Every structure is written in structure tokens, then in C-alpha cells.
Amino acid sequence: MGNLVLYRKYRPQKWEEVIGQEHVVRTLTNALKLERVGHAYLFGGPRGTGKTTIARLLAKSLGCADLDLIEIDAASNRGIDEIRQLREGIKFAPTAGKYKVFIIDEVHQLTKEAFNALLKTLEEPPAHAIFILATTEAHKVPETILSRVQQFAFRRLSAAEIIQKLQKITSAEKIKINDSALRLIANYAGGSYRDAESMLEQLRIWDDKMIEESDIEELLGAVNFEKVKVMTDYLGGADAKGAIDYVGMLAEKGTDLEMFAKALVSHLRKMMLIKVDSSLASLLAQELTADQTEIVKKQAEVFSLNSVAQAVKIVMAAQNDIKRSPIPSLPIELAVVEIINNKNSI
Ligand SMILES: Nc1ncnc2c1ncn2[C@@H]1O[C@H](COP(=O)(O)OP(=O)(O)OP(=O)(O)O)[C@@H](O)[C@H]1O
Ligand SMILES: [Mg+2]
């Protein structure tokens, strides 16, 4: 087995390797054939569905050299200065080939001033510049920008599509796993290929053993439930220090914080449903044991409906930010502070 993490090793290098997103692939490969690639695109859609992958493929297909592919993370470069700098850089011709490609990730995070500066560039781009704006929240991108770009809506991948790629990887890597276990991973990933892959990565530690459904349930269920329960207790007790220490401990132990955040969202959602109406607990019967349901009910008592609903939103946003955060635990730490502040002020 190689020591490259799966996502780096198996990121599509060719258009044929992209799963799903047929409409995007078809339109872009046609544009390439006809030499009619546009100057600005917006890739919108859920996390881990291929936006960055396809943006890089497009750059590669345009013969764009590494130096001429500029990736900007708008989540950490939100301001006018960064966009101004970009506008300065745009003037210079590509070092090799015909194009310079600018990928601006999480573009919805730009400040208003930065959007305005970007708009100016989109209005009169130099012939060699191609912009690909990517975002999980296309609805937050101003109309003025939208009117200047060709939009593509990426969709969640189906479980079948996810399984298809996971199967290739497991056979190439000689990971032993049975079909129902794969299906479980694909279902749990909720349309995000990245989540599925990261789960597989965590399961690899068993290496030689055949991975079965029960291993996955264990990985997702019991482990998650316990961790998430502890975290929710800290939040319920408004113990920010306890919660932050706990996240630090999880990070140190190598817990995948994105998956943890996802499990926390799902746990808080359950609490919210129970608060809306306790009869909704029956909806959760499939996902929780009777004991677990009791714990969730008890934990829900110390939150108001409003504060738990806020908490769901906050952790969901944090989950999205983790991968780009310079410090992986930071988005959850911020979420903790925000949730506890909200809870105290309601
Ligand atoms: N449609 C797809 N086909 C093949 N592989 C995919 C697809 N979508 C995602 N992947 C795989 O999942 C990983 C993450 O994909 P990518 O970075 O393109 O997601 P993204 O849509 O940009 O997500 P985010 O919004 O979180 O940045 C990649 O390494 C890639 O191998
Ligand atoms: Mg991306």
C-alpha cells in the first residue's frame, strides 16, 4: 500500500474518472473541443462533490502550467487587499501556455468590497484569464457576480456512484470489505464523496481483516455517540473550557473532526426534533437504541428550541470550515463559543 492518502492518490486526473456531474463534464469538455471556454464560471454545490477537482481538470486541459494555476481560498483571504493583489497579478501573461486560471474557493465568503473589486475584473478580464469561483453556498453570491459567470450546479452523488468509485479503490488497495459495508459508507456520506473516502481511510487501520457492516456501525455509531454525547453535555452545561479541551483531546487522538462535527449536527438535530414534539422521537428509533434515545431526551431538556436550532446551524457551518482552517479544531472552538453565548443570551 502506498502512503499517499486516498484523496490525493485517487483525485481524478482525467475527465473519464469523474463520477456523476455529467452535465458539467459534458459542457466543459465540449467547450474545450470547440475552443470556447468561458472566462468565468461558478461551481456551486455540496461539499466533496468534485468542484475543486473539476476546476483543476479544466485548468489542466487548457494546458495551464502549475505556475499559472492560482488557487485562492476566500475563506481566509476575504478582503479587498487580496482581490486587489489578484487584480495586479492578472495583468501578467501566463508563464507557459495560453491561460492563467484563478480558482477562488468558498467565494461566498468574500467581503462586499472584495466582491466589488472582483466584479470589476470579471467585467473586463484579460484574454488569458479564466476564473472559476467555487462555493457550497451559491445563494450567498451577489446577483451582480452571478450575471457575469456561467453557473454550474453540482449535485450530491448517489450512493451507487460513490460505491462505484470506492470499489475501484478498495480493489486497487487490496482493502477487504464486503458489499453491505460499502453501501453503509456510501449512505452515511450523504452524497459527499469526500466523506465516504475519509471513512474508508479510517477503516484501513484494520488492514488485513475483512471490513464488515458491524465495523462501520461501530465506527459511526457507538464511537460517535459517546463523543458527541460528552460534547453536548459540555454545551448544555455552558462549559466552554470543557468543550474546547475536549475538542483538543479529540484532535490530538486523531479523530476526524469533520466527521465528528457531522455526528454532532445529527445529534443536535435529534434533540431539536424531540423539542419540537416528543412524539418525533419515533422517527429516530432506527438510528438510536432506547438508551440512547433517553440520553438525547435528557440532553434536550437544558436547551430551548431556539438555542438548539441555532446550534445545529452553527455546527453545520463549522463542519464546512474545518478542512480550510489553518487550525483544524478552530471552527469547532468558534462554534462552541457561539453556541454558549447564544444559549446564555436566550
Ligand atoms: N464527482 C467526483 N468524481 C470523482 N471523485 C470525486 C468527485 N467528487 C469528489 N471526488 C473526490 O473527493 C475528493 C474531494 O473532492 P473536491 O475537492 O473536488 O470536492 P469539492 O466539491 O471541491 O468540495 P468542497 O466544497 O468541500 O471544497 C477529491 O479528492 C476527489 O477525488
Ligand atoms: Mg473544493
Residues in contact with ligand 1 by the CB-under-6-Å rule are: 7, 10-12, 18-21, 47-53, 136, 157, 165, 193-194, 197
Atom of ligand 1 nearest to the CA of 323: 26
**Test site for ligand 1: of 7, 11, 323, most ligand atoms within 8 A of the Cβ:** 11
**Test site for ligand 1: of 169, 194, 325, most ligand atoms within 8 A of the Cβ:** 194
**Is residue 282 over pLDDT 70?**
yes
304-319 per-residue burial string, b: 16 or more CB within 10 A, e: under 16: eeebbbbbbebbbbbb
Q: Which of 176, 197, 215 is the last residue of a domain?
A: 215
Percent of the chain beyond pLDDT 70?
Answer: 96
Nearest to 87 by CA among 73, 106, 100: 100
| DSSP assignment letter at 65 | -
Which residue's C-alpha comes closest to atom 28 of ligand 1?
Answer: 11
**Amino acid identity at 334:** L
User: What is the CA(232)–ligand 1 centre distance, in A?
Assistant: 30
User: What is the CA(25)–ligand 2 centre distance, in A?
Assistant: 16
The predicted structure's pLDDT at residue 346: 59
User: What is the CA(106)–ligand 2 centre distance, in A?
Assistant: 8
Q: What is the mean pLDDT of the chain?
A: 91
Nearest to 76 by CA among 337, 322, 335, 338: 322
User: What is the CA(46)–ligand 1 centre distance, in A?
Assistant: 10
* 203 confidence band (pLDDT: 50, 70, 90): confident
Which residue's C-alpha comes closest to atom 26 of ligand 1?
Answer: 47
For residue 259, being part of any structural domain is answered with yes
Percent of the chain beyond pLDDT 90?
Answer: 66
The predicted structure's pLDDT at residue 4: 60
Number of domains in the chain: 3
Atom of ligand 1 nearest to the CA of 53: 18
Q: Which of 105, 136, 153 is the last residue of a domain?
A: 153
Other CB atoms within 10 Å distance of the CB of residue 150: 14
| CA pair distance 180, 186, nearest whole angstrom | 10
**Is residue 234 over pLDDT 90?**
yes
State the average pLDDT over residues 77-106: 91
The predicted structure's pLDDT at residue 207: 66
Say yes or no: 42 and 137 in one domain.
Answer: yes
State the average pLDDT over residues 323-346: 91
For residue 3, being part of any structural domain is answered with no
**Is residue 1 over pLDDT 50?**
no
The predicted structure's pLDDT at residue 219: 75
Say yes or no: 231 and 284 in one domain.
Answer: yes
The predicted structure's pLDDT at residue 25: 98
The predicted structure's pLDDT at residue 254: 66
Write down the pTM of the prediction.
Answer: 0.72
Say yes or no: 238 and 330 in one domain.
Answer: yes
User: What is the CA(320)–ligand 2 centre distance, in A?
Assistant: 10
State the average pLDDT over residues 156-185: 92
Residue with cell 436566550: 346
Q: What is the CATH number for 56? A: 3.40.50.300
State the average pLDDT over residues 96-118: 94
Contact of 148 with 40, CB cutoff 8 Å: yes
Phi, psi angle pair for 316, to nearest 5°:
-60, -45
**Is residue 326 over pLDDT 60?**
yes
For residue 46, being part of any structural domain is answered with yes
Say yes or no: 40 and 148 in one domain.
Answer: yes
State the average pLDDT over residues 283-295: 84
Q: What is the CATH number for 211? A: 1.10.8
Residues of the domain holding 111: 21-153
Other CB atoms within 10 Å distance of the CB of residue 108: 19
| Ramachandran quadrant class, 90 (left: phi over 0; alpha: psi -120 to 50; beta: rest) | alpha
* 341 confidence band (pLDDT: 50, 70, 90): very high
At CB < 8 A and 24+ separation, what contacts does 81-89 make?
82/114, 83/110, 83/114, 83/117, 83/118, 83/121, 84/117, 86/121, 87/117, 87/120, 87/121
User: What is the CA(290)–ligand 2 centre distance, in A?
Assistant: 39
Nearest to 193 by CA among 159, 153, 162, 158: 162
User: What is the CA(51)–ligand 2 centre distance, in A?
Assistant: 5
| CA pair distance 26, 86, nearest whole angstrom | 30
The predicted structure's pLDDT at residue 256: 80
In total, the chain counts a number of residues equal to 346
Which residue's C-alpha comes closest to atom 7 of ligand 1?
Answer: 50
What one-character-per-residue DSSP string does 267-301 give? HHHHHHHHHH-GGGGGGGTTTS-HHHHHHHHHHHH
pLDDT digits (tens, 9 = 90+) for 247-275: 999 887 667 888 899 999 999 999 999 99
Say yes or no: 165 and 114 in one domain.
Answer: no
pLDDT digits (tens, 9 = 90+) for 5-60: 787 889 999 999 999 999 999 999 999 999 999 999 999 999 899 999 999 999 99
The predicted structure's pLDDT at residue 2: 43
**Test site for ligand 1: of 53, 57, 156, most ligand atoms within 8 A of the Cβ:** 53
**Is residue 312 over pLDDT 90?**
yes
The predicted structure's pLDDT at residue 343: 83
Say yes or no: 291 and 204 in one domain.
Answer: no
Say yes or no: 93 and 40 in one domain.
Answer: yes
